[in-house]
Amino acid sequence: MSHSDRYDLDRSKRPNMLLKFDYILFAAVIGLAVMGIIILPSAMLGYKESVIKSTFIVQIGGFIVGIIIAIALSCVDYIVFRHMAIFFYGANILAMLLVYSPLGVERYGSRNWIDLGITTYQPAELMKLATIIMVALCLEDMKLDNGRTLYNVLRIGFFFALPLGLVLLQKDLGTALVFVFFFVIMLFVAGLKMRYFAVTAVAALIAFPFVWKFALNDARRSRILTFFDPSLDPIGAGFQARLAKYAIGSGQISGKGLGNGPINNAGQLPVKDSDFVFSVVCEELGFIGASIIIFLFFVLLIKMIGISRRSSDYFGQYLAIGIFAMFLFHFLENIGMNIGIMPITGVPLPFISKGGSSLITNFFSIGVMLSISARRKSGGFFGESS
C-alpha cells in the first residue's frame, strides 16, 4: 500500500449509517453496560447511602453521555484522529501531569485521579486511547515507508514510553500492564521482527527491579507476592482472594439473587464495586449471569477482530487491534484475578465496574471502533468477505 492508498475510500461520500452501523457490536456494549448498572447497587451494599446515590448517578450519567459520544463518533470519519493525533495525545499528557497538582487525589495507594468538584477523573483512562492512536499512526507511517528506520523505532518508543512512565510514577501497575499489552499486540500485528521483541523483553527485565522498588506501593507488592504464595498474607490479600473464589462458587447456577449474596453482604470482598465486581455477579446472578457477561465480551472481541481485518487502511487496522487488545487485557485480567489465575492488579471490568471516567472512555473507544466499522470493506460477522 502506497501513501496515496491511505485514502482509498472516497471520503466525499458518507456511508449510509443506518446500513453500515454495527448494531451487533453496539448491542453487546449496551448489554454489558446495563449489566453493570443492574449489579452496581448490590456491589455497593454496606457503603454510605449518599455514596451509593452519587456513584449511581455518575454511572447513569456516564452511560447516557457515553452512548451519545459513541453514536456521534460513529458518524465521524476516523481519519480525523490521524490529523488530531498529536494534539489529542498532548492534551492527555497534560491531564496526566495534573495529578501532581493540588487537584490530584490519591486512592488505594496510587495518585492517579483529578478532583473535578462534582466527581473525579482518571486521566490514564483516555491516555490509553490517545497512545493507541499515536502508535497506530506511527506504525502506519513505518509500513508505508517500507522501512523500520531507527527514527521510526525511536518515535514509536517515545510515544509509548512517556505515558507508561507517568503511569508507573502514579504507582498504577494494572494500567501500566494494559499499556504494555496493547503495545506488544500492535507491534506483533504490524509485523515487527522478533529482535525488537527480544530487545523489549531484555529492557523489561532490566527495568523490573526499579519498577518493583519505586513504582509499586506496599499493597500492590503484597498482592503480587500473595498470588504466588497465599500463606504470605493469610488474613489480608490471601484471604480476600480466597473469598472472591468462594463467592463465585457459592452462586452456583442461578445465584443467590440481587442483594442476597452472603459474602457480599458481609462486606468481605475488597473493592467489590470495581476490582471484584465479577465475584458479586457470580454470587448473586450465578453461572447464568456470569455466562451472559462472558458471552457479550466474546461477541465484542470477535467483532473487533473482524473490524480490524476489514479496515480500509493500515491506520484503521492498527487502531482497531489496539482497542481490541486494550479490552481483551481488561477482560482477561479482571476475571482472571477474580478466579485466582492472575495476580490482583486493580484492573476494572469494562462497562461493569463502577467509574464514570472509565465508562465514558470505553464508550469513546467503541465510538472510534464503530467509525472504523462503518468505513471498512464489506464483510460478514467475523470480517470475511460477504
H/E element holding 288?
helix 277-309
Over pLDDT 70: what percentage of the chain? Answer: 83
pTM of the model: 0.88
- Name every residue whose Cβ is closer than 8 Å to that of residue 97 and which is 6 or more positions away in sequence: 166
What gap in Å lies between CA 279 and CA 272, rounded to an integer? 8
290-331 pLDDT, tens digit per residue, is 999 999 999 999 999 999 999 888 999 999 999 999 999 999
pLDDT of residue 55: 87
- What average pLDDT score do residues 240-264 get? 86
Distance CA 171, CA 66 (A): 28
81 close to 319: Cβ distance less than 8 angstroms: yes
Indicate if the pLDDT at residue 385 is higher than 50.
Answer: no
Nearest to 31 by CA among 289, 373, 307: 289
